[in-house]
A and B are shown apart, each in its own frame.
Chain A
Amino acid sequence: MATDTTALRAGSPHEIARVRVPTRSAGSELRAIKVVWKRELIRFSRDRLRILTSLMQPFLFLFVLGTGLSRLASAGTHGVNLRTFVYPGVLCMAVMFTAMFSAASLVWDREFGFLREMMVAPVRRSSLVLGKCLGGATVAGFQGVIVLCLAGLVGVPYAAGLVAEVFALQLLLAFAITAFGVMVAARITQMQSFMALMQMAIMPMYFLSGALFPVSGLPQWLSILNRLDPLTYAVDPMRRAVFAHLHISAAARQALDPGVTWWSWHVPGLVEAAVVALLGVVMLTVAIVEFSRAE
């Protein structure tokens, strides 16, 4: 027998502490949700390149497109910088793309086998899906915060109320988009197909949402599509929050931040946020059902 005590501690069956796995409880589900969430954060923090590349697009839109088009647009913006106008839309974009990539990692997880490790664990599939969606939302929210830090560069003040409101809205959006991505990932098992599908869904959603133009006075077809686009209800309250803190003329406000109307009813920001939340919950539910059914 070895006399070295450290070796004994490591190797001797005497001291094997058989672990006892308790039966499923709310506590164990919470632990599962938390660890799946935490994994997203660890992986995101390791992936510096991803943090950088997903900031690329917002920068291009904000500073290149925003600056380049500002001369063309100056006639219609009543003196408001175009960059300031597109800022809420660009913030949504940064959040959307990050959330989408978070959901995409589920497809990788399947491809690289890790999904199997989670699927055989003695926890509810709903805990896994919820942890994933919360993780994606957190990561995307973080990305949003980086864009939020740029507010000063485009003439948006750092007011506490504004930051809090925008932060809450972007978390909501991030959650909804991740839920959407996870729902799609339940069915689509190949990365190429998933990315193609997401592009097909995300790009039209983004362009129709009014992230890059005011939503009043549009041709009827575009107006209808705009009101049907879920993203509209994330961009609009965000723009309202930003514009509420700008000192601009009434005419400018009227032209640039007209707000979304349903049959001439001006939809309040809270209702808009509720629309996004409701959609997020519905998609989360579908995702849970899909994953629970999967063998």
Chain B
Amino acid sequence: MSEPATLTEAPEATQTAAAGAAAVVVDGLVKHYDDVEAVRGIDFEVATGEIFGFLGPNGAGKSTTINMLCTLVRPSGGSALVAGHDVVAERDDVRRNIGLVFQDSTLDGYLTAEQNLRLHAELYGVPREQVGERMHQVLEMVGLWERRGSLVNTFSGGMKRRLEIARGLFHSPRVLFLDEPTVGLDPQTRSSIWRYIGELKAREDITIFLTTHYMDEAEFCERIAIMDHGRIIVLDTPQALKAQVGKDRVQIATDDDAQAIVVLRERFGIEATIAEGAVTFGVPEGEQFVPRLFAQLDVPIRTVSVARPSLDDVFMAHTGTTIRDAEATSSDRMRNVARMMAR
């Protein structure tokens, strides 16, 4: 492993117009499609060099927000600056300074990996004398240099995603947007994608803005905004968010869940709910609570699990539902939005 921390940044740091300025500044951003309000007024800032995560169930408004920041969707209200440029008034300046990796592949499968990157370089006007060297760098980084001559159609899902990351980086963007970068990938590929993202920060002097609906992945971020129903519910570091919850999560499966909830309330003073098909509640020191539970809960317990606070619990604490259940209820709404977008 090399030591990226000791290495100085590239001399072209002048490309950062105002040093120390926020990479993304969002102020009262709103988007509605006809009568569907996808984003209902959000404000936040992302510092330069930060890894910033947007977390929330499908249909929460994450993709719409990212599309507005990428100039693909025109906001209905509010404003946003990306890399110091307004996403509506200075669209081209924003586009030159951002890299994009979408949820769905946007590669041309009938071209080779190298041809896809060359096309990108031409579209972005990358100086010709730099194309070759940069090509080597980004392909080497995602481990696809040897496969540069293969048609993209022959690539696996994980390879395609890696190639998209390489392409998103090709023109040295100041902000890299990753919309659900690991969705639909197997766990091993997911972790390798995260490794690349981690290396990126060290190597490329870049701000990373990503969305995810995987709770465990959100913990890779330096700061997280949790979004639900088009609003930002809470924004902080993963550690702070988890500290706020402070309780372990206990889930039990019983023979009579309704009765169990009643007993928990009456005997322990605990408000439990049904989440993911199990009686779920938070208590401090969960491991010590479980023996008491077995001794005093009259309802037979079939399974029990205790988990340290995770971002899932943060989500639960702020929305009263788990992210998986939120997706189930918001899927109709999401379908509506998707239909609007498809027009």
Contacts and interface: CB of A to CB of B under 8 A. Distances in A.
A and B part of one assembly: yes
B7 A32 contact: no
B136 interface: yes
Nearest to A122: B95
Interface stretch (A7-15, A52-60, A218-226): A7-15
Interface stretch (A39-47, A144-152, A271-279): A39-47
Contact of B140 (A10, A14, A35): A10
Contacts, number: 128
B244 interface: no
A251 interface: no
- Interface size bracket, A side: 35 or more
A19 B72 contact: no
A17 interface: yes
Interface of A: 1-2, 10-14, 16-25, 27-28, 31-32, 34-35, 39, 42-43, 46-47, 109, 112-123, 189, 295
A205 B205 CA distance: 57
12 contacts: A2-B2, A21-B172, A23-B96, A24-B92, A31-B123, A32-B125, A35-B119, A112-B109, A116-B72, A120-B72, A122-B95, A122-B124
Nearest to A35: B122
A278 B137 CA distance: 47
- Interface size bracket, B side: 35 or more
Interface string B144-177: 0100000000000000000000010011100000
B253 interface: no
- Identify the interface centre among B106, B145, B203, B342: most chain A CB within 10 Å of its CB: B106
A42 B106 contact: no
Interface string B303-343: 00000000000000000000000000000000000000010
A116 B106 contact: yes
Nearest to B119: A35
Contact of A21 (B126, B141, B203): B126
B102 A113 contact: yes
B203 A13 contact: yes
Interface of B: 2-4, 7, 10, 12, 15, 70-74, 92-93, 95-97, 100, 102, 104-111, 115, 118-120, 122-127, 130, 133-134, 136-137, 140-141, 145, 167, 170-172, 202-205, 342
Given A113-B104, A116-B106, A120-B95, A20 B127 contact: yes
B2 A21 contact: no
A22 B2 contact: no
Given A16-B204, A19-B172, A21-B171, A46 B126 contact: no
A14 B115 CA distance: 27
A176 to B, nearest CB: 26
Given A35-B123, A116-B72, A120-B71, A20 B15 contact: yes
A295 B72 contact: yes
Contacts of B119: 35, 39
A115 B70 CA distance: 15
Given A18-B172, A19-B130, A20-B15, A43 B122 contact: no
Contacts of B12: 18, 20
Contacts of A113: 102, 104-107
